Amino acid sequence: MTERRTLYPEIEPYSTGMLDVGDGHSLYWERCGTPGAKPVVFLHGGPGAGISPNHRRQFNPAKYDIMLFDQRGAGKSTPHANLEANTTWHLVDDIERLREMCGVEKWMVFGGSWGSTLSLAYAETHPERVTELVLRGIFMFGQSELDWLYKYGASELYPDGWDEFLAPVRQDERGDLVGAYRELLIGDDQQAQLTAAKAWSKWEGLTVTLLPDPAMLAEFTEDQHAIAIARIENHYMLHKGWLEEGQLLRGAEKLRNIPGVIVQGRHDCCTPPRAAWELKRVWPEVELNIVLDGGHLYNEPGVLDGLIRATDRFAG
């Protein structure tokens, strides 16, 4: 068996800054790798999760000029966990502002989980600006995907975690969990908000791991991190990503001339393989790699191997 690829060595950004994108939002950004090399933009998950130092390491730093940024309200971007003027289409515009700031005509787009959603929305809006797409854990805000996470599906695999997820919500409000959580997460009771945020974020943490990961769950439920993930993610789920049912599938015709790779864990409990398969059916040119021992997270050995093989291939 061929040895699996792993992360490139640790690197530091060669440039960082804040970009005012209007509406009161400023985005933290960083550029890593080699200035003037092949440009790529990294789109993080969540929404609301932010970037981390290991995200930089999925690209050969000698061959890529890597743009990473915290989306509105996430990470070091300000204001923290803010929901105003924070939609899919605001973020699509932000990516264009960052591209223009970098002075590149087009770039590779790399995104996983929610980052795959945003990658597709951006590429279908600006196909002329995308050289390649590398996607992981496809999620397209279909009603079946939302039901899997917040109504039935994942709860069958994690019944103990599901009971913890239900706990902050009154019995008579459990018919609409996303809506009930919305009221808790935007309410004035700060303790109730934090309790709900940690429960929401812990549920996310359970579904993304193939095997238990206490350190990752501790990170997900840290106060500030949990607030950002829960508030922003719930906001997007409530509004179904500001996407019509099937919109990204219908728009996939615009991707037909863009080389692409999808890396999808067979046992991904957060974003099951059905969405990736449906995307492949309408975008037959894309390479779909289903990782037999993979779940959702990018740093699982088989998933990471697939992602780095894709970035190495497109590095040229």
Specify the 3-state DSSP secondary structure of 126: coil
- HSE-up of 217 (CA within 13 Å, CB side)? 12
Catalytic residue among 25, 225, 235, 296: 296
Is residue 239 flagged as an active site residue? Answer: no
- Tally of residues, the chain: 316
Q: What is the DSSP string of 143-186?
A: HHHHHHHHTSSHHHH-HHHHHHHHTTS-GGGTTSHHHHHHHHHH
Is residue 113 flagged as an active site residue? Answer: yes
Catalytic residue among 65, 70, 94, 268: 268
Quote the CA–CA distance of 201 and 170 in Å, as a whole number.
18
Is residue 296 flagged as an active site residue? Answer: yes
The label of the residue with tokens 């932010």 reads: 50
Backbone conformation region of residue 78, classed left if phi is above 0, alpha if psi is from -120 to 50, else beta: beta
Catalytic residue among 77, 113, 116, 201: 113
Q: Most distant CA pair in the chain: distance in Å?
A: 57
**Active site amino acids:** 113, 268, 296
